[in-house]
């Protein structure tokens, strides 16, 4: 048996054999994560220029955004099966190739139809990159280094949505919208070469058959749910149609839940929720994410529409979130070891809710340096919450179930982003009288309402025990209490 054919439990971790890989493997995966996260948001500020260039309307251009996100939603659930069947490195490299080719084709698109088709190709590559990249990280590090791996994995996901609109605006202003896509090509090529050189091939159980009926049900259900959520906040179809889409999504997902009970290896393994750490990390952590994911949407709007800032100034201030995310990294391991998963998740969600509500105290007269510091503090708390809940989800997951767990976790994380943005947009619409201009007061009200959502996660975090994830956190409060 060669090293490349060994199961996850039968090999010494790559980062243990070669300490250099503790930086190189996360770097490879981070490249993929950052590209995928950037491309979900980077074209939003370039839509007017792209519409003029391709001879369509800005409203229709939203389809280019939606197509990418929907393709992600459809194919993320089955990424784990492909990784087990064909090898995680092979699928990861293939996804980078597809994503890079898709980016190149997006850049040369000479029609709206071609752009939509190539965005779907990008989305297919992105759908495989994210969960398979997470799987590679988890299989490359021993359990006591999971949190370090998750820090590297989470930073691009935290920075991407913030820097995307700003970078898109700068590129569109000073170059061409086509460079929004061309910029992925050197990163994609670097990621491919580094993955081939430094990522080892580890397969799962190749005997599991692909659950095609389950894939159709989950894919249709998640895609319709994603599409319905998107339209709640930014409607492109009538309200009755949105309701019909959401009902259809619910029916498909309910049908899959019934179907999954009768199948040995369903497309999505719902039995993973029986593990407390995964259940709380994904579901309670998901609630906290929804509330915090609304801020990157609301904040730039408030700064520009409510305060009258320029897009560049607004983007510069919101980008400060990234500094908060980076600032937590040097102390994050110590915090987790000291507090444990239960306390760190509880307090980061509680403080996060307070900070979201605190945005209602910021006004047009607030000094820019105060706004910047406050945004950086929010970024710190958001990063602590996201990294910790991510790590908890896989802290006690058996190695043979990691591929299925990363697929299911990837779907739920994708939906929390859409829920956060769409719920924020919906509340903003409901609180604003039709025809009336958006005012700072309306944004303040929405921030206060969104602050409630992380509070809903607190009861879930209270179900955690001090010993949960001890092997990963290094926390020893349970032993002391005993």
pLDDT tens sequence across 104-159: 999 999 898 999 999 999 989 988 888 898 888 888 888 877 777 777 766 666 66
Q: What is the pLDDT of residue 246?
A: 93
Q: What are phi and psi of 19, to 5 degrees?
A: -60, -25
Residues 240, 296 share a domain: no
Cβ contacts of 303 within 8 Å, gap of 6 or more: 309, 313, 314, 317, 318, 371
Residues 255, 298 share a domain: no
Q: Could you give the C-alpha distances from 97 to 178, 299, 412, in angstroms and in order?
A: 19, 35, 25
Q: What tokens appear for 429 in the block?
A: 């619409």
Last residue in a domain, options 152, 181, 200: 200
CA distance linking residue 158 with residue 382, whole number of Å: 8
Q: What tokens appear for 263 in the block?
A: 């199948």
Residues 381, 330 share a domain: yes
Q: What is the pLDDT of residue 153?
A: 67
Residues 408, 350 share a domain: yes
Residue 172 lies in a domain: yes
Residues 190, 152 share a domain: yes
Q: Could you give the C-alpha distances from 373 to 319, 327, 358, 365, in angstroms and in order?
A: 11, 12, 13, 15
The tally of domains found in the chain comes to: 3
On the CB side of 285, how many CA atoms lie within 13 Å of its CA? 30
Last residue in a domain, options 143, 168, 200: 200
CA distance linking residue 223 with residue 229, whole number of Å: 10
Nearest CA-CA partner of 299 in 382, 410, 387, 180: 382
Residue 9 lies in a domain: no
Residue 6 lies in a domain: no
Residue 250 lies in a domain: yes
E strand residue ranges, 87-230: none
Burial 103-123, CB ≥16 within 10 A → b, else e: bbbbbebeebeebbebbbbbb
Residues 254, 158 share a domain: no
CA distance linking residue 236 with residue 63, whole number of Å: 9
Residue 10 lies in a domain: no
Nearest CA-CA partner of 75 in 32, 37, 132: 132
Residue 478 lies in a domain: no
Residue 95 lies in a domain: yes
Residue 186, domain CATH: 1.20.1250.20
Q: What is the pLDDT of residue 337?
A: 86
Question: Are the beta carbons of 9 and 397 closer than 8 angstroms?
Answer: no
Q: Could you give the C-alpha distances from 280 to 114, 220, 393, in angstroms and in order?
A: 42, 26, 7
Q: What is the pLDDT of residue 6?
A: 46
CA distance linking residue 144 with residue 137, whole number of Å: 13
Cβ contacts of 330 within 8 Å, gap of 6 or more: none
Which run of H or E residues covers position 181? helix 179-182
Residues 285, 245 share a domain: no
Residue 205 lies in a domain: no
Residues 187, 119 share a domain: yes
For residue 394, the SS3 value is helix
CA distance linking residue 197 with residue 323, whole number of Å: 31
Residues 224, 189 share a domain: no
Q: What tokens appear for 264 in the block?
A: 């040995």
Domain that holds residue 380: 272-465
Q: What is the number of other CB atoms lying within 10 angstroms of the CB of residue 203?
A: 19
Residues 111, 170 share a domain: yes
The dihedral formed by the CA atoms of 349, 352, 358 and 360, expressed in degrees to the nearest 10: -90
CA distance linking residue 94 with residue 352, whole number of Å: 38
Nearest CA-CA partner of 101 in 37, 167, 181: 181
CA 402 to chain centre: 18
Which tens digit of pLDDT belongs to each residue from 73-94?
888 888 888 888 888 899 999 9
Residues 102, 50 share a domain: yes
Residues 324, 223 share a domain: no
Q: What is the pLDDT of residue 2?
A: 43
Nearest CA-CA partner of 317 in 372, 377, 379: 372
pLDDT in tens, the chain (482 residues): 344 444 444 456 777 777 778 878 888 888 888 787 777 667 766 777 788 888 887 667 777 877 888 888 888 888 888 888 888 899 999 999 999 999 999 999 989 899 999 999 998 998 888 889 888 888 888 887 777 777 776 666 666 666 776 777 677 777 788 888 888 898 899 989 989 988 888 776 667 788 889 999 998 998 898 888 878 766 778 888 989 999 999 999 999 999 998 888 888 889 999 999 999 999 999 999 999 988 888 888 888 888 888 767 777 787 788 777 777 777 888 888 888 889 999 999 999 999 999 999 999 999 999 999 999 999 889 888 988 998 899 888 888 888 888 888 888 887 887 788 888 888 888 887 776 777 888 899 999 999 999 999 999 999 998 888 888 777 776 444 54
């Amino acid at each position: 048996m060669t090293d490349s054919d060994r199961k996850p439990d039968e090999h010494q971790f790559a980062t243990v054999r070669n300490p250099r890989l503790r930086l190189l493997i996360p770097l490879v995966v981070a490249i993929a994560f950052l590209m995928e996260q950037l491309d979900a948001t980077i074209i939003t500020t370039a839509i007017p220029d792209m519409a003029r260039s391709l001879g369509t309307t800005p409203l229709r251009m939203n389809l280019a955004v939606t197509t990418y996100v929907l393709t992600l939603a459809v194919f993320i659930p089955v990424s784990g099966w492909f990784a087990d069947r064909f090898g995680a490195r092979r699928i990861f490299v293939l996804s980078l190739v597809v994503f890079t080719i898709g980016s190149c084709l997006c850049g040369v698109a000479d029609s709206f139809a071609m752009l939509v088709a190539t965005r779907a190709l990008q989305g297919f590559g992105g759908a495989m990159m994210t969960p398979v990249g997470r799987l590679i990280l988890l299989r490359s590090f021993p359990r006591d280094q999971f949190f370090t791996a998750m820090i590297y994995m989470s930073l691009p996901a935290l920075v991407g949505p913030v820097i995307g609109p700003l970078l898109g605006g700068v590129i569109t202003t000073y170059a061409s919208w086509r460079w929004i896509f061309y910029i992925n090509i050197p990163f994609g090529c670097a990621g491919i070469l580094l993955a081939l050189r430094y990522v080892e091939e580890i397969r799962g159980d190749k005997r599991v058959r692909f659950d095609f009926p389950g894939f159709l049900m989950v894919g249709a259900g998640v895609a319709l749910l994603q599409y319905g959520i998107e339209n709640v906040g930014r409607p492109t179809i009538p309200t009755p149609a949105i309701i019909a889409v959401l009902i259809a999504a619910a029916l498909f997902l309910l049908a899959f839940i019934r179907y999954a009970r009768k199948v040995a290896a369903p497309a999505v393994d719902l039995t993973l929720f029986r593990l407390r750490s995964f259940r709380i990390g994904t579901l309670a952590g998901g609630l906290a994410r929804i509330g915090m994911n609304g801020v990157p949407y609301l904040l730039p709007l408030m700064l520009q529409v409510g305060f009258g800032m320029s897009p560049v100034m607004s983007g510069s201030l919101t980008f400060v979130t990234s500094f908060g995310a980076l600032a937590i990294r040097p102390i994050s391991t110590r915090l987790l070891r000291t507090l444990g998963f239960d306390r760190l998740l509880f307090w980061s969600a509680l403080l996060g809710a307070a900070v979201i509500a605190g945005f209602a105290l910021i006004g047009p007269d607030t000094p820019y340096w105060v706004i910047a510091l406050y945004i950086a503090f929010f970024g710190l708390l958001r990063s602590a919450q996201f990294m910790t809940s991510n790590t908890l989800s896989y802290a006690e997951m058996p190695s043979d179930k990691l591929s299925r767990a990363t697929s299911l976790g990837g779907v739920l994380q994708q939906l929390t982003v859409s829920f956060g943005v769409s719920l924020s947009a919906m509340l903003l619409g409901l609180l604003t009288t039709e025809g009336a201009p958006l005012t700072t007061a309306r944004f303040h009200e929405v921030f206060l309402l969104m602050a409630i959502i992380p509070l809903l996660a607190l009861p879930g975090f209270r179900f955690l025990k001090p010993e949960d994830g001890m092997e990963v956190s290094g926390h020893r409060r349970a032993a002391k209490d005993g």
